[in-house]
C-alpha cells in the first residue's frame, strides 16, 4: 500500500516538476546558479520553489493512505496539518521573503498540534550504568519532553534549509534521512516491535517517510548537478517538518537527532553568523575559481565551506557527494551506536 | 477563551495586513480596481492575496485554542490541516494561477482528512410527515453521506471565490456566514444541546467560526469600499473551507447549505458560463458608467449582475450592501425555517 502510493507520488512529482517550474519561472520566481559559468551575465535562470511539486505530491499520497487505511489517529492528522503549514510557510517565504525570526517562530506554532495530539511516552529510559545514580529505570519528563520535541521540530524544519548551497544537497540529504528513518521503522517492525502500540507508531512514521523519500527522489531527478530546478525553502522547510513528524510519531526523536548530526554540526558551527556575532551574507557560498571551475572554501562558517577547507578545492558535484557520504556514514554510525548501546537501555 | 483568542486574532490581522500588503505589492502581486475611476491608466494598484494575513492569524488562534483547551480531537486537528491546505492552495493560485479543474479537485483531496476523522452520524432524521412513507425515523446513509459532505466542502471552498467582484463582498459574506454559524452554535449550546456529544460538536465548530469572524472583521477594515487591499483567492478558498469544516464538525451541514443560499443561487446561475456553454471572461464584472460612476448589470451570468439588473444601476458600495443584506436575510430565513420545522424532525 505504502509502496504503491509512494510509487504514484514519485511519478506525480516527475509529472508536476516541469509544470511548476514553468509557472514559477513565468512569475519571476527564479534563482541564479551562482556556482556555474556564465551566470554572472544573468543567463542561467533556474526556476525556484519547485519543491512545491514534491510537497503537493507528498500531501496527496499521505492523505490518500490515511483515508484508505482508516489510520485516522489524531496524531497522523496533526502531522498532515504540520507538513501542510510548513509547505505554506516555505512557499510564502520563497515568494515574499519572510524575516528570519518569523521562520524560527512559526514552525513552533505549526508543530503544536502534533504535540497536543502526541499520546506516546513523555519520558526517557535511563541507561543501565546510570540507574544506580538516579535510582529509577524510567525518568518521566512530562511537559519538559514536549518542549524538547517542539525544539526538535523547529530545529529540523530549519536545519535542512541552512545546509545548502550546491546543487542537489538539500534534496540529497532529505532522501538519505528519509531512507534512514524508513530503515529504522522497518527494522523495528521486523523485530519484536515492542508491542502493538510501538508497532502502530512505527507504521504511522513509515507512512510519512516512504512518500517523502519517493517525492524527494523525483525532485532529485531535476535538482541533482547540474540543477534544472531549485527546490526552494518550500521544499526544505516542508521536508524538515515531515522528518520531525516522523520522529515524533514513531517515538524515536532521540534517534532522529543522531541522524541529524551533520545538520547539528552545521547549525552549531553557523551560530556565530546566524546570531550576527560575525557578519552574515545572504548566501554563505564557497568561492568558485573561474579558471579550474573548482569550489574553494570561503570564510563563511558552515559545513559546506568547512568540508571544502578540509578536502581542498572540489568540483560542485564532488562537494555535494562528499557531504552526502558524511550523511550516510552518520546514519551507519547511528544504527551502530543503537545496536551496541541496546544493552544499556534494557528495561 | 475563544473570545480572548479571537480578539487577539483580530488585532493580529490589523497588524499583519499592512505588512503583507507591502510585501505582495513589492513582489508584483497586485490587482487593478476596475470599478474605480483612473485605474485604466494603471494608477490604483491594490495589493493582492492579503487574505494571507487573516489566514495566518486564524491558524495561529485555532492552534493555540486547541493546545490550551486540550480539545485535541482527531477531527479538530484534521480541520486545521484542511484550512491550512486551502490557504496554501489559494496563495499558490494567487501567485501562479492554478487551472480551474485543479481548484475543483484539490479541495476534495484537502477535505478527505476531515471526513476520515468524522465520527458523527452519517444519516438524516426523517421529517415526521415522511415517516409513514419510509417506515423509518432515521435514514442511515453511510458513505453516501460522506460523499455529500465532500461535495459540500468542494462547493463551499469555491463558492465564495465566485461570488465576488465589488469591494468588500468576499469578506463581507464570509463575516455574515461566520456570525450566522456562531449564532447557531451558541443557540444550540444555550438550549438542551442534545447531549454531551452534540455539545462537544458545537464547541469545536464555534472554535473555528469565532476566530474566522474575528480575522475577517480585521480584513474588512482594509477591504471594504474603497478597498486598500484585495483578499485574493488566498482568503476565499481558505474561508470557504473553514466554514465547511465548521458545518461538518458541528454536525449541521444541512443548515450550512441553507445559509449558503446566495452562493448556491450564484453557482447554479453561473453554471452555463462555468461549464463554458456560453463564453466566460476572466472577471465577470458589471459595466461602469464613466459619467455617473454607477455600476450597470452586464450580460455575465452571476448574482452580482442579476442584482444590478433587478435593482437598476447602483454605486459599488450599494451593490455590495444589497448583496450582503440578501445574505443576512437568508440567515434570518434559515433560522426561521429551522424553528418552524423543528416539529417535523422530533425523534
B19 — contact with chain A (CB < 8 Å)?
no
pLDDT value for A22: 87
Q: Do B92 and A92 touch (CB under 8 A)?
A: no
B160 — contact with chain A (CB < 8 Å)?
no
Q: Report the distance separating Cα B212 and Cα B189, nearest Å.
A: 19
A21 — contact with chain B (CB < 8 Å)?
no
pLDDT value for B196: 84
In this structure, the number of other CB atoms found within 10 A of the CB of residue B11 comes to 13
A263 — contact with chain B (CB < 8 Å)?
no
pLDDT value for A338: 83
Nearest to B74 among A28, A74, A91 (CB): A74
pLDDT value for B178: 96
Q: Which of B18, B72, B110, B233 to mutate to test the interface with A (most CBs of A within 10 A)?
A: B72
Nearest to A112 among B63, B81, B92 (CB): B63
- Regions of chain A with pLDDT less than 50: 41-42, 347
Q: Do B72 and A117 touch (CB under 8 A)?
A: yes
Contacts of B92 in chain A (CB under 8 A): 52, 91
pLDDT in tens, A12-51: 999 988 988 888 888 888 887 777 655 554 457 888 888 8
Main-chain phi, psi angles of A130, to 5 degrees = -95, -10
Q: What is the mean pLDDT of chain B?
A: 86
Check if the beta carbon of residue B313 is closer than 8 Å to that of residue B62: no
Closest-CA residue of B relative to A92 is B91
Contact partners, residue A21, CB within 8 Å, separation at least 6:
A47, A50, A53, A222, A228, A229
pLDDT value for A343: 60
Pairing verdict, β A287-288 and A295-296? antiparallel
Please work out, in degrees rounded to the nearest 5, the angle formed at the alpha carbon of residue B262 by the alpha carbons of B260 and B264. 65
B180 — contact with chain A (CB < 8 Å)?
no
- Regions of chain B with pLDDT less than 70: 37-43, 69-73, 192-193, 343-347
B104 — contact with chain A (CB < 8 Å)?
no
Q: Report the distance separating Cα B339 and Cα B256, nearest Å.
A: 15
Q: Which of B15, B71, B88 to mutate to test the interface with A (most CBs of A within 10 A)?
A: B88
Scanning A29-88 for CB atoms below 8 A from B yields 29, 52, 59-60, 63-64, 66-67, 70, 72-74, 77-78, 80-81, 84-85, 87-88
Residue with cell 524508513: A182
Evaluate if pTM is beyond 0.95.
no
Q: Which of B96, B233, B249 to mutate to test the interface with A (most CBs of A within 10 A)?
A: B96
Q: Do B63 and A110 touch (CB under 8 A)?
A: yes
Contact partners, residue B340, CB within 8 Å, separation at least 6:
none
Q: Report the distance separating Cα B295 and Cα B316, nearest Å.
A: 6
Q: Do B78 and A73 touch (CB under 8 A)?
A: no
Give the number of C-alpha atoms closer than 13 A to the C-alpha of residue B128, restricted to the C-beta side: 7
ipTM for the complex? 0.86
pLDDT value for B193: 57
pLDDT value for B192: 67
Contacts of A117 in chain B (CB under 8 A): 72, 74, 77
pLDDT in tens, B86-140: 999 999 999 988 888 888 888 888 888 888 778 777 877 777 777 777 777 777 8
Domain borders along chain B are 2-34+45-269
Phi-psi region of B44 (alpha: psi -120 to 50; beta: other; left: phi over 0): beta
Contacts of A81 in chain B (CB under 8 A): 77-78, 80-81, 84
A283 exposed, middle or buried (CB, 10 Å; 0-12, 13-18, 19+)?
exposed
Scanning B117-146 for CB atoms below 8 A from A yields 117
CA distance B138 to chain A (A): 26
B96 — contact with chain A (CB < 8 Å)?
yes
Amino acid at each position: 500500500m505504502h509502496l504503491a502510493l509512494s510509487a504514484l507520488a514519485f511519478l506525480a512529482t516527475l509529472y508536476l516538476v516541469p509544470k511548476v517550474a514553468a509557472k514559477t519561472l513565468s512569475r519571476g520566481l527564479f534563482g541564479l546558479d551562482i556556482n556555474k559559468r556564465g551566470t554572472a551575465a544573468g543567463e542561467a535562470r533556474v526556476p525556484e520553489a519547485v519543491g512545491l511539486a514534491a510537497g503537493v505530491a507528498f500531501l496527496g499520497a499521505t492523505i490518500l493512505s490515511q483515508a484508505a487505511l482508516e489510520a485516522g489517529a489524531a496524531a497522523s492528522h496533526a502531522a498532515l496539518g504540520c507538513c501542510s503549514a510548513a509547505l505554506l510557510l516555505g512557499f510564502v517565504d520563497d515568494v515574499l521573503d519572510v524575516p528570519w525570526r518569523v521562520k524560527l517562530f512559526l514552525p513552533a506554532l505549526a508543530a503544536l498540534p502534533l504535540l497536543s495530539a502526541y499520546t506516546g511516552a513523555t519520558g526517557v529510559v535511563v541507561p543501565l550504568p546510570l540507574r544506580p545514580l538516579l535510582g529509577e529505570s524510567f525518568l518521566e519528563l512530562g511537559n519538559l519532553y514536549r518542549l524538547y520535541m517542539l525544539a526538535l521540530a523547529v530545529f529540523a524544519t530549519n536545519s535542512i534549509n541552512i545546509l545548502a548551497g550546491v546543487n542537489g544537497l538539500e534534496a540529497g540529504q532529505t532522501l538519505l534521512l528519509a531512507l534512514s528513518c524508513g530503515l529504522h521503522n522497518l527494522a523495528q517492525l521486523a523485530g519484536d516491535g515492542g508491542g502493538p502500540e510501538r508497532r502502530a507508531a512505527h507504521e504511522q512514521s513509515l507512512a510519512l517517510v516512504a512518500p517523502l523519500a519517493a517525492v524527494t527522489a523525483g525532485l532529485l531527478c531535476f535538482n541533482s548537478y547540474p540543477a534544472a530546478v531549485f527546490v526552494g525553502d518550500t521544499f526544505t522547510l516542508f521536508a524538515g517538518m515531515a522528518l520531525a513528524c516522523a520522529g515524533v510519531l514513531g517515538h524515536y526523536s532521540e534517534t532522529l537527532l543522531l541522524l541529524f548530526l551533520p545538520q547539528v554540526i552545521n547549525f552549531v558551527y553557523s551560530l556565530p553568523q546566524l546570531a550576527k556575532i560575525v557578519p552574515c551574507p545572504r548566501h554563505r557560498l564557497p568561492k568558485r575559481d573561474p579558471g579550474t571551475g573548482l569550489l574553494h572554501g570561503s570564510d563563511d562558517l558552515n559545513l559546506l565551506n568547512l568540508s571544502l577547507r578540509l578536502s581542498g578545492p572540489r568540483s560542485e558535484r564532488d562537494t555535494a557527494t562528499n557531504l552526502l557520504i558524511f550523511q550516510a556514514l552518520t546514519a551507519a554510525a547511528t544504527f551502530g551506536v543503537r545496536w551496541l548501546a541496546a544493552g544499556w537501555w534494557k528495561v
